Amino acid sequence: MLKKIKVKKGQILQRKGDIHTKVYEVESGLLRSYSIDNKGKEHIFMFAPEGWIIADNGSPDQPCELFIDALEESILFEKEKKLDSEHSNQKLIKRLGVLQTRVIMLMSASAIERYEHFLGMYPDIVQRVPQRMIASYLGITPEALSTVKRLQFRNK
């Protein structure tokens, strides 16, 4: 019921619309979850590096909202959602905290503030994924992120 699996870069673990009852814990590597909107645009919901847990946060009997795939070759523990929820309250609460911060940032901070907050929070992820994915996580275009970085650099 708890399987250890190895996935290659680019491998898709879950698609939107799947009825999916799995939760992934990342032992090594890097996963992401993302949605695709009605215009076909991708929006990264979260990154999951070593030690993180990633899953669709909907109820286990409803179709998923999110895609999950591997941004690097990764080693994962795959668990059933219901097992996960029995033992790891701590982790659920932590995930709530992360999402709360994410909502607050999206609502009250400018692109440049969100970028700097991201840098402070996840300094290593910036090195590991393409800029356009950082932009997607921040909710801006890659072009806007380029500009943000240029402005940020000039003010130093």
Partner DNA sequence: CTGGATTCTTAATCTACCTTAATGTTTGCA
Partner DNA sequence: TGCAAACATTAAGGTAGATTAAGAATCCAG
144 touches a second copy (CB under 8 A): no
Going from the C-alpha of 99 to that of each of 72, 80, 118, the distances in angstroms are: 23, 22, 13
Q: Residues 58-97: x/- map of binding to a second copy (CB under 8 A)?
A: xx-----xx------------------xx--x--xxxxxx
Number of Cβ atoms within 10 Å of the Cβ of 112: 18
Block residue for tokens 């659920």: 92
- Select from 15, 102, 128, 149 the one that contacts a second copy (CB under 8 A): 102
**At 82, phi and psi to the nearest 5?**
-70, -35
- Select from 28, 106, 119, 143 the one that contacts DNA (CB under 7 A): 143
Smaller CB separation from a second copy, 8 or 97: 97
User: The sheet that has 67-70: what strands, in order across it?
Assistant: 12-14, 67-70, 31-36, 42-48
- Select from 57, 69, 75, 149 the one that contacts a second copy (CB under 8 A): 57
Q: Taking the CA of residue 82 as centre, how many other CA atoms within 13 Å lie in the half-sphere pointing to its CB?
A: 3
- Select from 11, 21, 78, 139 the one that contacts a second copy (CB under 8 A): 139
Number of Cβ atoms within 10 Å of the Cβ of 46: 18
- Select from 70, 110, 116, 152 the one that contacts DNA (CB under 7 A): 110
145 touches DNA (CB under 7 A): yes
Provide the binding-site residues for DNA, judged by CB under 7 A.
Answer: 110-112, 130-132, 139-150
